[in-house]
Amino acid sequence: MKTNRVFRRWVTWYAAGQGAVRRTIPSLAVALALALGVTSTSDASRLDILDPIPLPSGFLYPNGITQAPDGTLLVGSVVSGQIVTIDSNSTGRFDVDDPSVFAGTSLRFNQETGRLWGTSPDFLGTQQPDGSIQRRAHRIFARDVDTGAVDLVLMIPDAGFGNDMAFGADGTLFLTDTSVPRILTLPPGANRLSVLVADHRLSSDGEGVDGIGAAGIAVAADGSTLLVGIYGSGAVFAVGKIADGGPQVRRLELQRPLENPDGFVVDRNGDLLLVEGGVASGNGKLTRIVDPLADGPRPVETLVEDLDIPVNLQIDAADPSLVYVTESGLGHRFTERRRSDAPPATFYVRRYRLN
């Protein structure tokens, strides 16, 4: 498929420069000052900016984020299987590093199983003696949240690329496939992924980033509709229950276009919080779509601007006004205004309090 070919070229371009990134790791130093995101003028009053959380030296390109029952934050990486743990007293890492997991681009804690689930696409691959790069099959995993031990690995079928995941109230897992236009699912007790919805509208035409398909996913406030973002095109779809004629897929009308929507979470009011990667503009955002399932063009509120390719977010379980955003720091590779030979000296989880 065209989308699959385009995405493979994009990932190849990304991985080709990792040798330079690896060479910079020994020289990384913890920044002395913590840079803050900048709110937009129109919606600045809607939130307070809190001090960001610096991540450990050598932990590159944060992505997936979730929260354990005790409030501990768990943060994954685009390029490593390491999981950073953040609680009120300290920042650490899982004791167990498992070679079967090589990324954590999405993390979700499942209350039903007590497991930490995540997606692990092989961005970097393994360099072969002839200099070529061999990539392992993209997969999802489940880990023991206390020890980090990996107790389940499932491959993405048909050379798909699992991007983001969400859980239904009954524990069913829903997974976006970025390279094949479909949504995969794993019902409770199942041992293999199956296709829930396959629809060409879940793809994106174009080259490079513009060709990246389904990314963010969340279960809407009605408990059954899935909200799905298409990274390249900026479209957001509501995917309803499967009817006799096929899945009910409806594109949302929005009051302004989105630039690379990702990291979907539905808040306590039923609004959709998301991040906009802003790869072309270099202006990543934290954004809210008000009442996404209502009729008519939905209001789109810009809550924060000037983020460096944000990729995921988490609403605090104990304090739903508190929002955490993982800022990938990938702008030095992909955006002209941030381009640099070296990654940021320190990576952050940004914190905001919604008013």
pLDDT per position in the chain (355 positions), as tens? Answer: 444 444 454 454 444 444 434 333 322 222 323 333 444 444 656 899 999 999 999 999 999 999 999 999 999 999 999 999 999 888 888 867 788 899 999 999 998 788 999 999 887 677 889 989 888 899 999 998 888 889 999 999 998 999 999 999 999 999 999 999 999 999 998 999 999 999 999 999 877 788 899 999 999 999 999 999 999 999 999 999 766 666 789 999 999 999 999 999 999 999 999 999 999 999 999 999 999 999 999 999 999 999 999 999 999 999 999 999 999 988 888 777 787 778 888 999 999 999 8
Cα–chain-centroid distance for residue 253?
A: 23
What is the model's pLDDT at position 245? 63
Tokens of 277: 């990667």
Q: Which residues contact 53 (CB under 8 A, 6 or more apart)?
A: 73, 86, 91, 324, 348, 349, 351
**The whole model's pTM is what?**
0.86
- Centre a 10 Å sphere on the Cβ of residue 23 and count the other Cβ atoms it contains: 11
Burial of residue 321 (CB within 10 Å: 0-12, 13-18, 19+) is middle
Q: Which residues contact 237 (CB under 8 A, 6 or more apart)?
A: 201, 202, 227, 228, 229, 230, 249, 250, 251, 252
What is the model's pLDDT at position 17? 44
Tokens of 16: 């080709």
Q: What is the DSSP letter of 321?
A: T
Residue bearing tokens 């990792």:
18
Whole-angstrom distance, CA of residue 102 vs CA of residue 125: 9
Contact between 75 and 86 (Cβ < 8 Å): yes
Contact between 281 and 290 (Cβ < 8 Å): no
- Closest residue by Cα to residue 258 from 239, 286, 296: 286
Whole-angstrom distance, CA of residue 182 vs CA of residue 177: 6
Backbone φ and ψ of 351, nearest 5°: -125, 135
Burial of residue 330 (CB within 10 Å: 0-12, 13-18, 19+) is buried
Number of domains in the chain: 1
Residues spanned by the domain of 341:
2-354
Tokens of 31: 């920044």
Whole-angstrom distance, CA of residue 285 vs CA of residue 267: 17
Alpha helix positions (H), the chain = 2-16, 18-24, 331-334
Question: What distances in angstroms separate CA 317 from CA 128, 162, 260, 355, one per listed residue?
Answer: 44, 25, 26, 16
Residues listed for the chain: 355
Handedness of CA 13, 16, 19, 22 (dihedral sign): positive
Q: What is the CATH number of the domain that holds 236?
A: 2.130.10.10
Question: What distances in angstroms separate CA 60 from CA 213, 289, 295, 335, 340, one per listed residue?
Answer: 24, 30, 41, 17, 15
Whole-angstrom distance, CA of residue 36 vs CA of residue 44: 14
